[in-house]
Structure 1
């Protein structure tokens, strides 16, 4: 019947999937899309998923190995090094900015004299604060051979070095994935160019008009 108003229709349901035009062009249904384009997109996605899966595992494994290594090193250093009193045998140069934060952290090599556990007097060169005069007592760490050394690694240093190794491992995995993607992309691009040249060699003669 003319002029009859049609009954109301329910609103359309929610659209499944992303809106048109939001997907990368490699994944769209496009007559210009080549098989190599889809291959490149799949390889890129596969490499991304592989990096996301492998990087945390590699970081955890490297962190555990590094922690064991540095913990063993710290225990060995604790057994083979000891702190002792020593006396400077020469003046230590002054820092250019005395009293500054940099001066408080600066250390200069200087000759010191100390007594070994067996009662002998020995000399060695150790890192000491700046501005000290000869004869000033200082505390140094020495090895069983009487050589100056750094203090044994602390728990915080062991932990920070382990985490640093884990971070380097994760970054290395990510860089490896990026390099693999770049190589793959270059290979696909060269293949596309070669296919284009072959297609053009077949098509160009039909477009050429006699002179």
Structure 2
């Protein structure tokens, strides 16, 4: 709105310079883009991300089979192979040796992590496997996919707004440089005679 008011004011102002009018048009264009292009870009990115993620969710739900595993024993820690991040994850999700039934009915045994704080031999816990019976992470929830899509849309909207504002500032900076260059040229022409009119010099 301020850009539109400024544009209207500069249209009929006798002191208006060409750069003033150009700056007002740039501000108005940036305002329109911020009001229209930024939300549309964010919405389009969010919808696209949500469509892709929901497709992944459906594929994971089809490919990953829920089952129940039984703790055999606590997994032995490999000395020198744990990073600080991995150690923290294993404190939250301890690794155990467990056995479970694959989709084809065969028995499998392997080292997996559990959501239990303490896992003892004989404890049962939910586990997901692929069609071949290997332990995999649980499929992504539809709500989680929507949250990621929302974040993606907001990120694109913010980046688009940043680009529009950056472009506006660059154009205004160039206009200011042109304005100052014209002022310098005008002053170079009038400066030597400044204050000398009518003095007879």
Question: Hey, what's the Cα distance between the residues in 2 that align with 1:138 and 1:85?
Answer: 6
Question: Hey, what's the Cα distance between the residues in 2 that align with 1:128 and 1:145?
Answer: 23
For residues 12-49 of structure 1, what are the alpha-carbon distances to aligned partners after superposition, in whole Å with 9 as ceiling and x for unaligned?
xxxxxxxxxxx549835555432201211111111211
Provide runs of 4+ in structure 1 moved above 6 Å. none
Question: What's the offset of the Cα at 1:129?
Answer: 2.5
Equivalent in 32, 57, 64 of residue 81 of structure 1: 64
Q: 8 Å contact 2:93–2:117 — kept in the other structure?
A: yes
Structure 1 unmatched runs, 5+: 1-22, 92-105
Equivalent in 156, 159, 182 of residue 169 of structure 1: 156
Range 45-54 or range 153-162, more displaced: 153-162
Name the residue aligned to 1:123: 110
Question: What's the offset of the Cα at 1:199?
Answer: 1.7
Equivalent in 41, 47, 72 of residue 55 of structure 2: 72
Equivalent in 33, 36, 41 of residue 50 of structure 1: 33
Structure 2 unmatched runs, 5+: 76-90, 197-201
Question: Hey, what's the Cα distance between the residues in 2 that align with 1:25 and 1:109?
Answer: 65
Equivalent in 105, 114, 117 of residue 99 of structure 2: 114
Question: Hey, what's the Cα distance between the residues in 2 that align with 1:26 and 1:164?
Answer: 38
Name the residue aligned to 1:27: 9
After TM superposition, the score normalised by the length of structure 2 is 0.72
RMSD: 2.8
By relative contact order (CA 8 Å, sep 6+), the higher-ranking structure is 2
Question: Hey, what's the Cα distance between the residues in 2 that align with 1:51 and 1:65?
Answer: 21
Question: Hey, what's the Cα distance between the residues in 2 that align with 1:78 and 1:113?
Answer: 23
Name the residue aligned to 1:90: 74
Question: Hey, what's the Cα distance between the residues in 1 that align with 2:74 and 2:23?
Answer: 69
Name the residue aligned to 1:40: 23
For residues 148-197 of structure 1, what are the alpha-carbon distances to aligned partners after superposition, in whole Å with 9 as ceiling and x for unaligned?
43322223223222222222222222112111111111111111121122
Question: Would you say how many aligned residue pairs link Structure 1 and Structure 2?
Answer: 174
